[in-house]
Structure 1
């Protein structure tokens, strides 16, 4: 089978950049980035994150996109084409999206449920203390919303690269940015006086978010902030999960990869920063610093309470917010499924329709099991990092905390010590283009990035707890 002739492609640079950025901008940007920034000294976290974007993130993103375009393969087979010893990396890189797809689409169903609640005028009820817990622990309703979200993902992937992924990304991403900018500006104008007479404003919350707080910062604390920023960046830019390898394989040879990678990182970083501008001032205004919390509780518990406290405007803001989050969840879920579809098409010579439907069926079954993990199949399992997990948390731990660092470490060792950094640099510089940070890239991919990744991997086992 001639992959070069038959493989689908993005139509050009714009389609490639928007689709890749759409993949990177997901739920982690919206609920995890603001929480970490608020917890880790505001501007201190932002500075660490920006430095890592320009070095650590750039190295991994450049590597995976170049691997994809040079091999014209999905993640399962791309690493083997680099060197036969890369087969294990390819298997792990394919297993990551296989684990992520079912539970990510379940969370996408949660987002749809809240969007429906605000559209129907039930936003005040959604702000209730037991609303979220009551919803996810019910038997059939989470499955219903998950199935709708899953069907939308399968439909777009079934349409293909150009008519599905690229077409919808070109529409959803501009609308997403218009919405997040609008809500961010509104968030800065908020003001609230609580029952004790204390007045808090959105601008004060913005300063909490952006001004570095160095009080009590020790080397150990700084290292924790650095690891938080690296962990956030790690899955924020969709590396080590096969996505960027698959998307890179769809990029045409005349696309300037170096410039495109810069644009992808710019869009992703801007979206993460604006998510903080949108969320932190609003939560601070109505709930104070204690309102910030990690994970789904920020988006499904804290923010609905904030929207309810806004009065009549809160219903509109809630609708806009959950439409925006739906877009982010949908584009990321599309890319997760596409990484698996590309792998199976390349490895087993399947047609897109067959791969899409069979993987969709697997995700449907897996997602139902995840939904039942909050009721009839509920259990609690202590993890090495000190957390307690049920089905969704366990899948997230294995994929994000264990497998992804291993994929990235293997990738760096393969590039830096087996095939050589020039293997990547030659692809990025193909034709008339230049790779402006190639000296930094050589050092990062061979020495610095593997060490940082190994430290991050050790965190999975509670080494630094």
Structure 2
């Protein structure tokens, strides 16, 4: 492998910085918004149990696979796949494309979070009634100018962090935001579980009722693990490429999914007991964050302060996710076009903002403009990325590592040329070759509505 034609790569300064960044890339809206409401929908405690089992089987396996490929090649996803097998470069390109189109609409949602954080800071948002909270949310998201402005500001913050590079930008920002995020979610969880009437929510979330296990719940838990850990979009490959050859990636591949799961559990503890305490529905769907929770905060003592803390927490989670996706794109441009980091970052951000505008307008004046049949631009981007590109990308990663590159070569990289013990090598080899591809295929088929 000859990477001499590629620019010299930045590297993580500390292992803690790498872990904070990778955990931050995984911790996002999927943990703080999607996990609580789908846990509420699929039985609470039993969903949590299934989720944690699948994290061990699928999450750790795939995370290690992506980190291994990235560190071995020291390249962006397209370059990494091409290094292993030239004809597979398009698969790496597909992973990069996933990050691109997810950024188009994720930035819009990041703008919504920023709006709510600013609104609560200045006392502009306060509603104890779900219907009123829904009117506020709908009025904002369907307007033409304000959401686009908040999207632009959110993107500017993301761009500034990535602009300064891996060690000076992403690592430093992550080492501040991730501990702060963890502290905030613990504070909210403590407040939530001490509310009068919160016991029912606590019991629902933590005590599994095995009678509530369903095939749909299992498949949903598998999909949540896959999406929550940012698998299939090239992030772990990119972040792995900034690691030195002495790093213990086997250990990191356990720490990252476990930390991500811990935040998801704390988010469930912060949200579900409070929802139960005020007699609202735990399966409120996407409106949980912007409609149900504002109504909960409106009824709580110190509700405004807690709302500020919550939306700052969500803002940090959204930023650590978007800066990792932007880094995937920037890494590709630096490697393949020889752009310098500053030019690559600004160019990528401008393109993302241009396409984020129709995604934002899809909530209002362009709501009836369909991109895919029956779907506006925003929903089409979400469907393409979540249901097609990410599962397909993850499946092909398993095939590449397990059958094309070969697990023996992968294990040699994981063990740092046999200088580190990797006792679980036979187990991981079996999982990446057989179990993970089958699970991902099931996710893919279920997402397409064929199960």
The match for 2:240 is 248
Q: What is aligned with 1:198?
A: none
Mapped to 1, the partners of 2:126 and 2:221 lie a distance apart of 34
Q: Which of residues 292, 302, 305 is equivalent to 2:292?
A: 302
1:338 aligns with 2:334: no
Alignment equivalent of 1:48, drawn from 47, 50, 60: 50
Which of 378, 386, 390 is the aligned partner of 1:392?
Answer: 378
Shift of 1:4: 7.9
Deviation for aligned residue 1:22: 0.6
The alpha-carbon deviation at position 379 of structure 1 amounts to 2.1
Taking the aligned partners of 1:216 and 1:61, their CA distance within structure 2 comes to 29
Partner of 2:367: 378
Give me the TM-score of the superposition, normalised by structure 1: 0.92
Q: Which residue of 1 aligns with 2:445?
A: 458
| SS of 2:366 mapped into structure 1 | coil
Structure 1 partner of 2:27: 25
Contact 2:7 2:334 in 1 (8 A): no
CA gap of 1:190–1:362, structure 2 versus 1, over 3 A, is same
What TM-score results when the alignment is normalised by the length of structure 2?
0.95
CA distance in 2, matches of 1:438, 1:380: 50
Alpha-carbon shift at residue 383 of structure 1 (Å): 7.3
Question: 2:370, 2:432 → 1: CA distance?
Answer: 36
Stretch deviating more after TM superposition (79-88 or 329-338): 79-88
How far apart are the structure 2 equivalents of 1:294 and 1:426? 44
C-alpha distance in structure 1 between counterparts of 2:410 and 2:299, whole Å:
52
Aligned residues of 2:59 and 2:225 also touching (Cα < 8 A)? yes
Off by >4 Å, runs of 4+ in structure 1? 380-384
- Check conservation: 2:113, 2:314, Cα contact below 8 A: yes
CA-CA distance at 1:143 after TM superposition: 0.6
- Cα distance change on mapping 1:3 and 1:427 into 2, 3 Å: farther
Residues of 2 paired with 1:362 and 1:281: CA distance? 41
Indicate the residue corresponding to 2:193 in structure 1.
188
CA displacement, residues 176-233 of structure 1 (integer Å, 9 cap, x when unaligned)? 1111001101100112xxxxxxxxx11221111111123454xxx2x21111111001
- 1:366-421 CA-partner distances (Å, limit 9, x unpaired): 1111111122222265979xxx5321111011011100111111111111111211
Q: CA deviation at 1:250?
A: 0.6
Gaps of 5+ in 1: 192-200
Tell me if 1:293 matches 2:284: yes
Is the alpha carbon distance of 1:273 and 1:48 closer, same or farther for their aligned partners in structure 2, counting shifts above 3 Å? same
Tell me what 1:94 maps to. Answer: 96
Report the Cα offset of residue 291 of structure 1: 4.5
Q: 1:208 aligns with which of 198, 204, 207?
A: 204
> Could you say which residue in structure 2 is the equivalent of 1:361?
350
8 Å contact kept, 1:15–1:170: yes
Local SS of the residue matching 1:252: coil
Matched, 1:2 2:4: yes
Q: Which residue in 1 is equivalent to 2:178?
A: 173
The CA deviation at 1:461 is 2.1
Matched with 2:141 is: 136
Partner of 2:134, secondary structure, is coil
Say if 1:283 and 1:292, in contact at 8 Å, map to a contact too. Answer: no
CA distance in 1, matches of 2:10, 2:219: 37
CA spacing shift, 1:216–1:411, aligned 2, 3 Å:
closer
Q: Matches of 1:3 and 1:279 in 2, distance apart?
A: 50
Q: Does the Cα contact within 8 Å between 1:97 and 1:337 map onto a contact in 2?
A: yes
> Distance in 1 between the 2:298 and 2:282 partners?
14
1:5 positional shift: 7.5
Deviations 1:11-56 (A, max 9, x none): 1211111110011000010111111212212221111111111111
* Structure 1 pair 170–3 and aligned structure 2 pair: CA distance change class (3 A): farther
- Given that 1:66 and 1:248 are in contact with CA atoms closer than 8 Å, whether structure 2 keeps it comes out as yes
Equivalent position of 1:258 in the other structure: 250
In the alignment, is the contact (CA less than 8 A) between 1:42 and 1:208 conserved in 2?
A: yes
2:166 counterpart of 1:161: yes
